[in-house]
Structures are given as structure tokens and as C-alpha cells.
Amino acid sequence: MTTLRDLPSVDELLQTKTAAELIARFGRPLTLSAIRETLDKIRVRFSSGSITVLPLHDLVLAQTDVLLGEWIKPTLLPVINASGVILHTNLGRAPLSDATIRAMDMVSRGYSTLEYDLQKGVRGSRLIHAEQILQKLTGAESAVIVNNNASAVLLVLSALANRKRVIISRSQLVEIGGGFRIPDVMKQSGAKLVEIGTTNKVHLSDYEEALQEQSALIMRAHRSNFKIIGFTTEPELRDIADLAHRAGVFVMDDLGSGALYDTAKYGLIHEPTVQESLAAGVDVVCFSGDKLLGGPQAGIIIGRKDLLDKIKKHPLARAVRADKTCLAGVTATLLHYLKDEAEREIPILKMMALTPKQVKGRVEAWIRELGRGEVVEGQSTVGGGSLPDESFPTFLLSLGVESSDKFLKRLRMQNPPIVARTVNDKILFDPRTVLPEQEGALLVGIKNVFEEI
Ligand SMILES: *Cc1c(COP(=O)(O)O)cnc(C)c1O
């Protein structure tokens, strides 16, 4: 009769050629623990009667191989974004420019002047990087880069308004996505939230009234992925800033997207720019590095030097500081703007600038290559919490398939995975968000799916 004693031992298995190959591929400690876990599972199954025959060496090691494969399977993979959503938050927002990638690569490979003063040969500060470029670009007195914009907002409020009143309009108490709620972040910073106005209307007199009591800040938050239309009023930022300054109160603006460029150029509505906020008299402006700016994940804080000095010294600044790759990447992306080459170099701006005719040409080339599909009109969107409801006319590759859900799933199982969308049982691919160097892989992926189905 078979008993568990017939199961090969770890030592026996390790003597085999197959185990040696596994060790070469996965390393000894990981292979050992996978062999042990495989044997444990077999014992449990055998004891419970769900298997009656014990596997031989080869089969045990084949199961070990599968287990090892599952253990090291990467979860963060590059994908082809054919959805037409340019700043797709779930797909990693902005793809980076070549110069940005090179800059990040360079500081990662070796040592750098992250916190080192070359002139003096002593410790320097990481807070100086990109400051000069941001000063030149925006005219701000001072700047600092942190890990992301959520932490930028938290840091500014903590440094300038802890235990103090912060006035904000109810029309701006929004949730941005990923659980980032403006009122919650304000509370987290220790600021005392003072809500004024109503959801659709806030008047200058509401601000005036709230300023009767000693306050630290007026905050303005960009509504991002939310739009209020119809019977609405909101005072001009300039008027709010004037009022605040007369009362000795500062104004911070959480711009979210942080466009340095006028998006109206691409036929979209005008997104408030960083420069406009400063020109309106705002004292501190925060925005993201990986939204409309088109760089790596970062939070950028710019504004008055005395306030920025306070922000930089706050203990939370250390907790949310940017790492060297982020600093190198943001600097390289900002440099594109400074050198007036942003539209030529920054991928998301190139995507926005594509004309419908150019997009159509790409769809037609895909159809020739695939030998199927048709060109249809559609819309691409910006995404990333910017410009809600705004879209650009585009052309799409449309493929008729039997089961769109099944087809989309097969597309996601390709290497690299392909993310597309479906309307009325047609699968739609938007060339606008497919990087030129991914076109070959996209077409191979689509052909594979037709063969698999
Ligand atoms: C996106 C956004 C944030 C959060 O920025 P992250 O860079 O994602 O941390 C904060 N405020 C506003 C208004 C936003 O749009």
C-alpha cells in the first residue's frame, strides 16, 4: 500500500537534474521553500483522500516549477493603452519623454549630487533641484518638489494652517479619486475647515464674512474630474486674493493638473494654468508632476519664499520628500518647457496635438496590416482628473467580433497586454494613446487574439 513515506524527500529531489535547473533559474533558497511547500500540499491532499497516488520526482518538480512561476510573476507590467484616455490613472498616467527617462536612468545607476554641494564639498540640500527652472518658468520666488500632489496639499496645510482656520467654498469639497477627499486631507493636516457658500454658488461676501474671524488661509481646490454647470457663481481668483491679503491671510491653490500650457490650443476648454494662479496673487500653488505636465509622479509646490521656507522646514517635508529619480525626471520634463520644445518632446502633449487626419492615417495603416476592421469617428479624452467632459475628435479602429467581453479579455492576456474599449459589440482602438514604438506589438496582439478565438 502507498504511504506518505513513499513520497520523495527534499534531499532526493535536490539530487535531480531538474532541481539543479530550478536552482539555476530561481536561486537555492526560493527553490527549497517551493519544494517544501509542494510536498506539504501533496501530503495534505493525500491524507484527505483527494489524491490516492503519490507523484514521482518529475511530477513533484513540475508542480514546484509552476509554484515558483506564480511566486515571481510580476504584477506591474507595461501595457498598450488603446483606450484613448491620455492620462489614464489606472495605467500610470503620463508616459515620459526620452530625456526624462535618460535623466532618471543616469541618477539611478550611480551616485549623484542629490544632497551634495560640489563647490564646497559639503552636504547640500535636495530641495534645491528644479527650483531655478521653476522660478524661470513661472516667476515664482521659490519652489519645492515632493512625492505627489496629495502630499503637497497635506504638507502646505500642515505647515501653514495647523490648528488654524482654512476657508474653502463648498463647491470645491470634492473627492478626486483614489479616496482623495479635499475635506479629509484638510482635517488630516490639523486645519480647521471653514466651509462657505453652497454647492453651486459662492460670493465674495461669503469670503468676506468668514474672514471676520482670524484665519490662516483661503484654499481653492480645482474640481478636477467634476463639473458644476448651470446656475453657478464663483468670484475671480484675483478678487479672492485681494480680499485675503487685505485681511492678512494667504491664499493657496490646489490646481491638481497644473497645466503650464494653454489647453485651449488643442481645441479643449481652457484649463487654469500655474502662471495664471500666480498672476492672480495666489501665495502658494500645488500641482501634480504626472498629469498635464507630462512628467513622473511628483507634487510641485511654488510660491512666496517666506511661506516655502516654512513648508520646507516642516517635519512632514522629510516624510513626503521626492527621491532622486523623481527629482531628475521632473527637472528634465520642466526643461522641455523652458527650452520651448515641450510639444515636440513630451509624449502626452504630442498625443494631444495629433490632428484627426494624422490619427486616421494610422488607423488606415492598421487596417491594411490586419486585413480587417473599419475606420470610425470617435472621441479621445484627457483623463487624470483634468478637463471633465472634454474630448478631442479622433478616429478609431473598429473590429466586429462575436463576444466583445471575451475578445477584450484575450487582448488583456497578450504580451504586452492591450487595453481597448467596446461599444455595441465592436472593439475600438484609439491610435492617439498608442505609442508609435508599440504599434507593431499591438497588431501582433490583435492577430493573435483572432487566431486564438
Ligand atoms: C489629482 C489631484 C490631486 C492629487 O494629486 P496626486 O499627484 O495624484 O497625488 C490633488 N488635488 C487635485 C485638485 C487633483 O486634481
User: Atom of ligand 1 at shortest distance to CA of 288?
Assistant: 7
Provide the pLDDT for residue 83.
97
Provide the pLDDT for residue 386.
64
Q: 199 alpha carbon to ligand 1 midpoint, in Å?
A: 20
Ligand 1 probe mutation, 155, 254, 285, most atoms within 8 A of CB: 254
Q: 145 alpha carbon to ligand 1 midpoint, in Å?
A: 14
Question: Where in the chain is CATH 3.40.640.10?
Answer: 96-341
Q: 185 alpha carbon to ligand 1 midpoint, in Å?
A: 11
Task: For residue range 148-202, list pLDDT tens digits in order.
Answer: 999 999 999 999 999 999 999 999 988 877 778 888 988 999 999 999 999 889 9
Q: What is the CATH number of domain 80-88+348-452?
A: 3.90.1150.110
Provide the pLDDT for residue 223.
84
In 229-328, the DSSP E strands lie at 250-256, 284-288, 299-303
- Nearest-CA residue for ligand 1 atom 6 is 149
DSSP string, 230-252: SS-B---HHHHHHHHHHTT-EEE
> How far is 284 from 307, CA to CA, in rounded Å?
8
Q: 300 alpha carbon to ligand 1 midpoint, in Å?
A: 11
Provide the pLDDT for residue 271.
85
> How far is 330 from 339, CA to CA, in rounded Å?
14
In 267-373, the DSSP E strands lie at 284-288, 299-303
DSSP string, 136-179: HHH--SEEEEES-HHHHHHHHHHHHHTTSEEEEEGGG--B-STT
Residue 426 region by backbone torsions, left for phi larger than 0, else alpha for psi between -120 and 50, else beta: beta
Q: Which CATH class is domain 96-341?
A: alpha beta
Provide the pLDDT for residue 171.
92
Ligand 1 is surrounded, with C-beta below 6 A, by: 148-150, 153, 176, 180, 221-222, 224, 254, 256-257, 288, 299, 385
User: Atom of ligand 1 at shortest distance to CA of 223?
Assistant: 13
Q: Which three cell numbers stand for residue 115?
A: 544632497
Provide the pLDDT for residue 218.
97
Which portions of the chain are predicted below pLDDT 50? none
- Nearest-CA residue for ligand 1 atom 7 is 149
Nearest CA among 421, 417, 369, 414 for reference residue 396 = 421
Q: 323 alpha carbon to ligand 1 midpoint, in Å?
A: 19
Provide the pLDDT for residue 337.
97
Q: 296 alpha carbon to ligand 1 midpoint, in Å?
A: 13
Residue 308, SS3? helix
Provide the pLDDT for residue 7.
93
Provide the pLDDT for residue 387.
67
**388: Cα within 13 Å, side-chain hemisphere:** 12
Q: Which one-letter amino acid corresponds to residue 216?
A: A
- Nearest-CA residue for ligand 1 atom 14 is 256
Residue 97, SS3? coil
Provide the pLDDT for residue 163.
95
Q: 166 alpha carbon to ligand 1 midpoint, in Å?
A: 19
- Nearest-CA residue for ligand 1 atom 2 is 256
